[in-house]
Amino acid sequence: MKPKKILITGGSGFLGSHLCRHLLKEGHEVFCIDNLFTGRKDNIEDLTGNERFTFILHDIVQPIDIEADEIYHLACPASPPHYQLDPVKTLTTNFIGSLNLLELAKKYNSKILFASTSEVYGDPLIHPQKESYNGNVNSIGPRACYDEGKRCAESLFFEYYRQHHLNIRVIRIFNTYGPGMALNDGRVVSNFILQALKGKDLTVYGDGSQTRSFCFVDDLISGMASMMNTKKDFTGPVNLGNPAEVTVLELANKIIDLIGSSSKITFLPIPKDDPSRRKPDISLAKEQLDWMPAVTLDEGLKKTIEYFIKYGKSET
């Protein structure tokens, strides 16, 4: 493959840093833009000596001018406690930030991919979720800054496609986990692993009967790159995730078992608007990208636990 100049927003976050590594391995030149809100320099420390890698400390709410062949637009906090810390900023990042990136793509005729989310389906009334489902989102609830922010960004992408003929790609990512997640990320997999390693109670919200479908990060990155590289005239949106669905309580017990932990489970109130179930229908990704996840939840959790054992010991 001919080396390309690639811009990644949110490149020092969890998914972004894996993507940087993947694209550098393929021989491309990578510009990683991040304001370090939830991203960490540690995530990309191993890349800083690479002459094809450039880190740019920048907030995408401000315009930026870099010519690139491709843009992967990932910048946005993804964990509920983090995106709810400053909800107006989350909305601004999704609207103004996406607008800035789309203008940049228009200026240089770059292909641009947007990392959208299964949250656009809200608390879904259709199960599993297909791309044709328009969702059930509370536009004024505590998750709206993220859900509606992403929905608005999707709209922007499709208007730039129709009005300005931009080459866009939209992926809807379902819960993804793996090594490189921030220890203080606040999402369920990292919380449970850290709690189980320390022998603390695992904090299950509600009765734990709500479901999620967890995708290992390597699978997700390969799907994301396939979507960018597909020769087809395929904009998406396309679901990327692992359809193996588990309840949150099953996940808690699985993590306790895999670690051999003495931790117990404690039940805490369920946050408002927490979706009761979530599972991707990935038939479109299979058909268009010939993609499906390969890593089972047990295999992926073992690798993630190893990472947390190595880096999470000193964390409280």
Instruction: Tell me, letter by letter, the H, E, C secondary structure of 16-60.
Output: HHHHHHHHHHCCCEEEEEECCCCCCHHHHHHHCCCCCEEEEECCC
Considering the candidates 83, 121, 146, 160, report the single residue annotated as catalytic.
146
Give the interface segment with ligand UDP, choosing from 25-33, 125-133, 185-193, 297-305 (CB under 6 A). Answer: 185-193
Contacted by 75, from ligand UDP, ligand NAD, none: CB < 5 to 8 Å by type = ligand NAD
Least CB distance from residue 159 to ligand UDP, whole Å?
26
Q: Decide whether 240 or 261 has the Cβ nearer to ligand NAD.
A: 240
Give the interface segment with ligand UDP, choosing from 40-48, 203-211, 230-238, 296-304 (CB under 6 A). Answer: 203-211
Conformation bin of residue 204: beta by default, left when phi > 0, alpha when psi is -120 to 50: beta
How many Cβ atoms sit within 10 Å of the Cβ of residue 14? 26
Per CB under 6 A, contacts with ligand NAD among 62-91 are 74-78
Binding footprint of ligand UDP, residue count (CB under 6 A)? 15
Establish if 153 lies at the interface with ligand NAD (CB under 6 A): no
**Residue 31 phi, psi (nearest 5):** -110, 115
Catalytic-residue membership of 146? yes
Q: Which among 88, 153, 89, 90 is positioned nearest to 117, based on CA atoms?
A: 153
Q: Decide whether 231 or 272 has the Cβ nearer to ligand UDP.
A: 272
Length of the chain: 316
| Burial zone of 168 (CB within 10 Å; 0-12 exposed, 13-18 middle, 19+ buried) | buried
Task: Summarize as ranges the residues that interact with ligand NAD (CB under 6 A).
Answer: 9-10, 12-16, 34-39, 59-61, 74-78, 93, 97, 115, 117, 173, 175-176
